[in-house]
Structure 1
Amino acid sequence: MESLQTNTVVTDASLAGLKRVGFKMKLFPGKEAEYKKRHDELWPELETLLKDAGIHLYSIFLDKETGSLFGVLHIAEPTNLDALPQQAVMQRWWQYMSDIMESNPDNSPVSIPLEEVFYLP
């Protein structure tokens, strides 16, 4: 088993009152490097939009064997997540990403909610 990577240390205080949301998405084969590149160059206006919607922490993990992506959001409630699909910046990002991952007819990523089955605070 590969050793686990730890990229960020998060204190309990920074998570107080935040809700965790997990979901999975799927990349097209061979698009892993491009997906990472595009996120490394995340548009500042998209970062602002996501934070303004109530997202405090957002991580996406890649399973290289399957191309599955696992996202985890830490959100403050109430959020404005329901308004994101109507935002022009969000729609442009979805269009930009639709050539490298499974997408819906509106270009939003096919996203499947995940059930949290364990949490160690």
Structure 2
Amino acid sequence: MQNGDQEFLEYVIKALVDNPADVKVARQVDEMGVLLTLDVNPADMGKVIGRSGNTAKAIRILLRVVGMKNNARVNLKINEPAGSTRGQNGGGEYRAPIINEAPMGTASRSVEDALDDIRL
């Protein structure tokens, strides 16, 4: 499963959006790990990002778990569609902060067991 992270992201995003045919995921590997760049229909951007970015954060957490299983660091970049009215960042993309904090407490089961439950 070499591109399992890309397939997983496509599966999750296509389940969220109203226009799954417009979902495009590009995968790039460099010294920082794997960068997945997501393009969606402008009408679906709100569903992908979610209120206060919570959906995007949740997707990034899931990708981090998938990356841990494959010993890779997976980052997600969500491209903002052309003609968007959102102009605060000027970069044409939305990129939520990467969370690098350690988990609180100890896990009751291993990452492998959790991934088996979601059947990757």
TM-score (norm 2): 0.35
TM-score (norm 1): 0.35
Structure holding more strand per residue: 1
Structure holding more helix per residue: 2
